[in-house]
Amino acid sequence: MENEIIIYKGNAFTLPVTVTDEDGLAFNLTGYTMKMSVKENYADTDANAKIGPLTATVTTPTSGIGTFTITTAHTANLENRSYVYDVELVKSETVGEVTTITERLTVLVDKFIVKNNVTRA
């Protein structure tokens, strides 16, 4: 699968995510926050997420690219199994002291597979 992520338990990695529009052009991420969660089941709450919700670093919003940093602390206690993940774009507007989410777009949904590594130095 194109959006399937395979990692090894206890490893750190960075995950760049490129968001494009319906024409295949870079989606302008200005005003959006990119979030990612890894869960055992789709119905799990964010409080029960195995990883996240994480917020991506977006250095050039017009490029449509956000990068998630996943640390060894995130993956050290994961079981050797398949999880589910998604990446969402959240656009919010602040009015006074109240923030209202005006748009939430899911841009990726797929499997997040954790494998055991053999060598553990």
Summarize pLDDT for 8-65 with one digit per residue, the tens: 999 999 999 999 888 989 999 998 899 999 999 999 999 999 999 999 999 999 999 9
Is residue 36 assigned to a domain? Answer: yes
- Counting the structural domains of the chain, the total is 1
The whole model's pTM is what? 0.84
Is residue 120 assigned to a domain? Answer: no
The boundaries of the domain holding residue 97 are: 5-115
Is residue 121 assigned to a domain? Answer: no
**Residue 63 is part of a domain; what is its CATH number?**
2.60.40.3350
Q: How far apart are the first and last CA of the chain?
A: 31
Helix (H) or strand (E) holding 75: helix 72-75
Is residue 41 assigned to a domain? Answer: yes
